[in-house]
Amino acid sequence: MTTLPPAIKPRDAIKPRVLLTGATGYVGGRLLRRLEARGARVRCLARRPEHLRGQVGPDTEVAAGDLLDRHSLDAAMEGIEVVYYLVHSMGSVGSFEEEDRTAAGNVAAAARATGVRLIVYLGALADSSQPLSPHLRSRQEVGEVLRTSGVEVIELRASIVIGSGSLSFEMIRALVDRLPAMVAPRWVSVPAQPIAIQDLLDYLVQVLDLPSAGNRIIEIGGADRASYGDLMREYARQRGVRRLIVPVPVLTPWLSGLWLGLVTPLFARVGRKLIDSIRHPSVVRDPSARSLFAVQPMGYREAIAGALRNEDSPRAETRWSDALSSSGPVRSGSGLHFGTQLVDKRVAHVDAPPEQVFASIRRMGGEVGWYFGNWLWQVRGALDLLVGGVGTRRGRRDPEYLAIGDTVDFWRVEELDPNRRLRLTAELKIPGRAWLEFDVEGDAAHGTTIHQTAIFDPIGRGGQAYWYLVFPLHQLVFRGMLRGIAAAATRGGGRSGRG
């Protein structure tokens, strides 16, 4: 590996134009905010630009393109100087190694053809001289493919990323929160060098300030080493809970993956690939990053504390599962896990402008009702009254308009972005916290897409039992409610059927 001189100076007096891939993913979504705050001229690449346009700043471009479609990349890279490559296919159903090779080859060819100066790639920290898991081998192979472009490539190799919503942290949180005792196969004691998401983002941003010096592989990590077992014990300590960890001599990645799929947010196929990689040490052997960057990385204890400070937010700023969009559409109403939260997500398209669609959403509750099964909502409110809750007796302050803090039956308006977003938080007597969110995007010419998301953050096993007990009713009510909203918006009104 190349060790660079310690001097840091800007590559260019003019801020480079940046293409960001993976902007809907965990790291990419947060890096986008950092780059925008820095004043960088950013263009995001997205297969479905309409899903990203509402999430970027006013000066950020969104370009249509697919890394698996070589011909879609030239226009997206036109005028670009720096490409951030932050994608991988670990969640893919098919051959993720082949998809990763194809995507990297397409980016390399397009970067060479359009005159890109620099590719920044976030890879995986592992000793390449040792036999590696398919996932780690693929991550390092991507770096090799990108370097064939002839464009300068800086590959940052990182270990476990600690932050609210990250894949590793959510696995740790789910295991410790849900299991009072757990078996500890050998992979939980393998050394790693976890890095806080804040520090990782600092490294990614400061790459823009490094002088040009050819292809480089730079290892980055936190201030100290820790295994997954160390991380679980520290998480339990900071949460104030006692957990028994029982060591066992062996537990195969296949069995571990199935186990994780049952007790954590991970899909089994992702869990198998992750554990297969955890079996390899991932520690920094070349310390040159400390002299190249103005970053003083924190230790894993501080990183966990930082992640926990965000736990009272309804959702993390970004989640690891956001990046799984590359593996195909998520089934509507699938009851997905996001961290320890349970989610029912549905999507509908309406041939009406966003203002008209949002008006139907805005009028929900009170006299208008909930567009489907209003008697079920009334029964739920009555049950809440029986246990000392507010029920539906509060109604609405105004039948037409909403403001943050308004009550809507047993909900309260927590977030309101007119014609774009509404988030309600439940004030029911339930074993957990619940939110109902509506996101609207589109235009008068092409119609409007409604994203309806119900989120439940259970408290203990009682909370999980509650969700699954009412899950059949949720399937019925939430599906009917979205259809009712779409029908009301098409009619141009907000009247609800009382059935």
Least confident of 192-201, 288-297, 340-349: 340-349
DSSP 110: H
- pLDDT band of 305, cuts 50, 70, 90: very high
The reply to whether 10 falls in a domain is no
Residue 229 above 50 pLDDT? Answer: yes
Give the per-residue pLDDT at 254: 58
Average pLDDT, the chain: 83
Residue 156 above 90 pLDDT? Answer: yes
Is the CB of residue 185 less than 8 Å from the CB of residue 250? yes
Q: What average pLDDT does range 352-362 have in this prediction?
A: 94
Cα(121)–Cα(103) distance, rounded to whole angstroms? 13
Same domain assignment for residues 264 and 365: no
Same domain assignment for residues 243 and 193: yes
Same domain assignment for residues 117 and 257: yes
The reply to whether 147 falls in a domain is yes
The reply to whether 31 falls in a domain is yes
Same domain assignment for residues 351 and 468: yes
Q: Provide the residue range defining the domain that includes 293.
A: 17-327
- Give tens-digit pLDDT for 16-56: 899 999 988 889 999 999 999 999 999 999 887 866 776 78
Cα(362)–Cα(423) distance, rounded to whole angstroms? 11
Give the per-residue pLDDT at 272: 60
The reply to whether 2 falls in a domain is no
The reply to whether 7 falls in a domain is no
- pLDDT band of 168, cuts 50, 70, 90: confident
Cα(199)–Cα(221) distance, rounded to whole angstroms? 9
pTM over 0.85: no
Give the per-residue pLDDT at 9: 43
- pLDDT band of 127, cuts 50, 70, 90: confident
Give the per-residue pLDDT at 103: 93
Q: What average pLDDT does range 475-489 have in this prediction?
A: 93
Same domain assignment for residues 175 and 301: yes
Q: Choose one of 310, 327, 344: the last residue of a domain.
A: 327
Non-local (6+) Cβ contacts of 481 within 8 A are 370, 371, 372, 373, 452
Same domain assignment for residues 294 and 418: no
Q: Choose one of 327, 350, 372: the last residue of a domain.
A: 327
Q: Choose one of 327, 351, 377: the last residue of a domain.
A: 327
Same domain assignment for residues 40 and 138: yes
Structure tokens at 210: 């490094």
Structure tokens at 104: 């990297």
Cα(13)–Cα(2) distance, rounded to whole angstroms? 25
Q: CB atoms < 10 A from the CB of 400, how many?
A: 10
Same domain assignment for residues 311 and 429: no
Cα(56)–Cα(392) distance, rounded to whole angstroms? 37
Same domain assignment for residues 311 and 371: no
How many residues can be counted in the chain?
Answer: 499
Residue 257 above 80 pLDDT? Answer: no
Cα(474)–Cα(459) distance, rounded to whole angstroms? 19
The reply to whether 304 falls in a domain is yes
Residue 142, phi then psi, degrees to nearest 5: -60, -45
Cα(191)–Cα(159) distance, rounded to whole angstroms? 10
The reply to whether 12 falls in a domain is no
- Give tens-digit pLDDT for 414-454: 889 999 999 999 988 889 889 999 999 988 888 999 999 99
Q: Is 430 helix (H, G, I), strand (E, B) or coil?
A: coil
Residue 267 above 80 pLDDT? Answer: no
Same domain assignment for residues 148 and 274: yes
Smallest CA-to-CA distance from 349 within 48, 92, 60 is with 48
Least confident of 1-5, 53-57, 63-67, 443-447: 1-5
Residue 259 above 50 pLDDT? Answer: yes
Summary count for the chain: helices (H), strands (E): 14, 18
Cα(453)–Cα(463) distance, rounded to whole angstroms? 18
Residue 8 above 50 pLDDT? Answer: no
Q: Domain with 276 in it: what CATH number?
A: 3.40.50.720
Same domain assignment for residues 317 and 440: no
Q: Which residue has the higher pLDDT, 344 or 122?
A: 122
- Give tens-digit pLDDT for 371-416: 999 999 989 888 887 777 777 767 887 888 888 878 899 898 988 9
Give the per-residue pLDDT at 315: 47
- pLDDT band of 90, cuts 50, 70, 90: low
Burial of 22 (0-12, 13-18, 19+ CB in 10 A): buried
Q: Domain with 391 in it: what CATH number?
A: 3.30.530.20
What is the spatial order of strands in the sheet that 152-158 belongs to? 61-64, 41-46, 17-20, 82-85, 118-124, 152-158, 216-219
Number of domains in the chain: 2
Same domain assignment for residues 313 and 369: no
Residue 183 above 80 pLDDT? Answer: no
- pLDDT band of 291, cuts 50, 70, 90: very high
The reply to whether 478 falls in a domain is yes
